[in-house]
Structure 1
Amino acid sequence: MYYIENEFLEVGIDAKGAELVSLFHKDHEIEYMWGADPLFWGKSSPVLFPIVGGLKDNSYTFEGEKYNLPRHGFARDYVFEVEDHWDDGISFLLRSDENTLKIYPFTFEFRIVYELYANLLSVTYHVTNLSEKDMYFSVGGHPAFAVPLTDDLTYEDFYLEFEEDEIFHRWPLSEQGLILEEPEPLFGEKIVDEESVVEETKIVPLTKELFHQDALVFKQLNSTNVILKSDKSEHSLRFDFAGFPFLGIWAAKNADFICIEPWCGIADSVNHTQELTEKEGINVLAAGDVFERAWAVKLT
């Protein structure tokens, strides 16, 4: 385990998967991360690379060859090298090797940098294409935050408040974790002036039942941040995800956490061709270029 800290926060990261496991506010004496209870879900913040979500039949084709990748890719299962470590920041590095090349035919460097700025944690992904051809990839986060934040409150006391009004259409998942062809309104439709409409709102109330049909998957939201909060508490967190075109919201069934997942990429659709270059949301990185995205969480 590696730690970074400043006057406000102490953060713990495991070198396996460069996974964020602790986000502790010193003054409030509150742990904001889920404790990875294996009875529900034994992870706290897996990194998703080089794919996000699942592949159709767990496979894809590229340049006429077929490859297999597990759900969310392989980075979360690798031990990252600590490239640099200072008091309030740390940089982890994963390099392609003979094992990754068997299932993902690109040479790369994948860096994850954690940095503290007062009561804010910034997490930056750097993908460098060392191949001599275009690299096709997805990348994303899967951090799980504790709900409730304190023992005197309940899960249902909390809600998500998005930056902008949204028409929340979720993209349902098949039993195999693939994106279905049509979205559906998160809160249903209402009849207004004899027409069926979906109302705009910023608020998503939290209930355990909300995730009984798997994750809430959103595409191209207006918002670039969302706040996890309760009207009964002064403590909250703001999650910034500018630059990520897809957002997942998920919790294991009846578990006391919520994942806020910023994605540059998405699971295959049920009718996908399985050709990597045709995958929805895939990022294309030219030889020698670097891709960078960052999300951040601010604690109060």
Structure 2
Amino acid sequence: MYTISNGILQATILSKGAELSSLILLATGDDYMWPAGEAWAKHSPVLFPIVGTLKNNTYYYQDKAYQLPRHGFARDKNFTVTQQDAESITLQLTDDAATHAVYPFHFQFSISYRLQHNSLYVTYHVINTGTDTLYFSVGGHPAFKLPMTTDTAYHDYFLKFDQEETAGRWPISPDGLIEQEPLPLLDHNNLLPVTKELFAKDALVLKHLRSNRVTLASNKTNKALTFSFPGFDYLGLWAAKGADFICIEPWCGIADSVQASQQLTNKEGIQSLAPQAGFERTWSVALQ
């Protein structure tokens, strides 16, 4: 367990999965992260080298079948710290014999956490250390406590996107796959009321939004957070059934569709890197 602080925020990161486990606004002592309670045993798992579920938990690469669980293996691996100071930390995972059995690529995957003013910046760095093209997806899954105050209720909150959106939600099949057609969600507006019923049929999956920032707030409290996700083509919103949190999930990648070919190189949202090339994406959250 590692802690960083800048006098305004304090963040705690676990070595397992390089997972963010708390984010405290020091002026109030409030932790904005879900504390991994009974409803869901995670805080903010990292999704790599896939996002979501594979069809039959299987993909094919160079005519060979491989199996990966939902969201990949990084969240269950121990990362090594490669840099740390008072306000930032970087943790790293590299391929080994165990990863090669399920994912035949050479990679260096690092996650950096950096505090600046009232914001936490989380950066994913991927380097292809092999001699073949690297195919991967990566994403975040942070869970924020809701309601934020004892005198407000879950349904008092809303999500406000920074752009007006016309976007459907892509339904998820019982097998965790993306259905073929979206259902209506946002129609020329930027406000989405938050209710527990919203997640009764699993996550809301949004594709290619105009927005790259969304604010979680209520008219009944000044406490809020603003989540920025530039460069992420997909956004998931989720909560466990009846649970007091909401996950805001930026993804570079997505679960297989119900009609997916299961060929890794043709997977929707898959990222590709030439040998020795690098990839970087950053999401951030600002607290108030």
Q: TM-score surpassing 0.5?
A: yes
Aligned to 1:194: none
| 1:84 Cα deviation after fit | 1.1
Aligned to 1:98: 97
DSSP 3-state at the match of 2:227:
strand
8 Å Cα contact 1:56/1:268 also seen in 2: yes
Matched, 1:230 2:229: no
Letter paired with 2:101: K
Letter paired with 1:255: A
Aligned to 2:243: 255
DSSP 3-state at the match of 1:186:
strand
| 1:28 Cα deviation after fit | 2.2
Matched, 1:213 2:201: yes
Aligned to 1:159: 158
CA distance in structure 2 between the partners assigned to 1:15 and 1:166 by the alignment:
38
CA distance in structure 1 between the partners assigned to 2:166 and 2:242 by the alignment:
26
DSSP 3-state at the match of 2:75:
helix
Percent of residue pairs identical: 53
CA distance in structure 1 between the partners assigned to 2:59 and 2:248 by the alignment:
27
CA distance in structure 2 between the partners assigned to 1:98 and 1:49 by the alignment:
17
Give the number of the structure whose alpha-carbon radius of gyration is greater. Answer: 1
Letter paired with 2:284: A
Aligned to 1:192: none
Aligned pairs for 1:197-208 within 5 A = 199-208=187-196
Aligned to 1:40: 39
| 1:178 Cα deviation after fit | 0.2
Aligned pairs for 1:36-115 within 5 A = 36-37=36-37, 39-115=38-114
CA distance in structure 2 between the partners assigned to 1:168 and 1:35 by the alignment:
31
Aligned to 1:191: none
CA distance in structure 2 between the partners assigned to 1:186 and 1:166 by the alignment:
9
CA distance in structure 2 between the partners assigned to 1:85 and 1:29 by the alignment:
23
CA distance in structure 1 between the partners assigned to 2:181 and 2:157 by the alignment:
29
CA distance in structure 2 between the partners assigned to 1:200 and 1:258 by the alignment:
23
Aligned to 1:290: 278
Query: Which 4+ residue blocks in structure 1 deviate beyond 6 angstroms?
Result: none
CA distance in structure 1 between the partners assigned to 2:271 and 2:108 by the alignment:
15
* Aligned partner (choices 244, 264, 281) of residue 276 of structure 1: 264
* Aligned partner (choices 239, 244, 248) of residue 227 of structure 2: 239
Letter paired with 2:197: E
Structure 2: runs of 5+ lacking an equivalent? none
| CA deviation map 1:199-239 (0-9, x unaligned) | 31111101110000000000000100000001111110000
Structure 1: runs of 5+ lacking an equivalent? 188-198
- TM-score, normalised by the number of residues in structure 1: 0.95
8 Å Cα contact 1:264/1:282 also seen in 2: yes
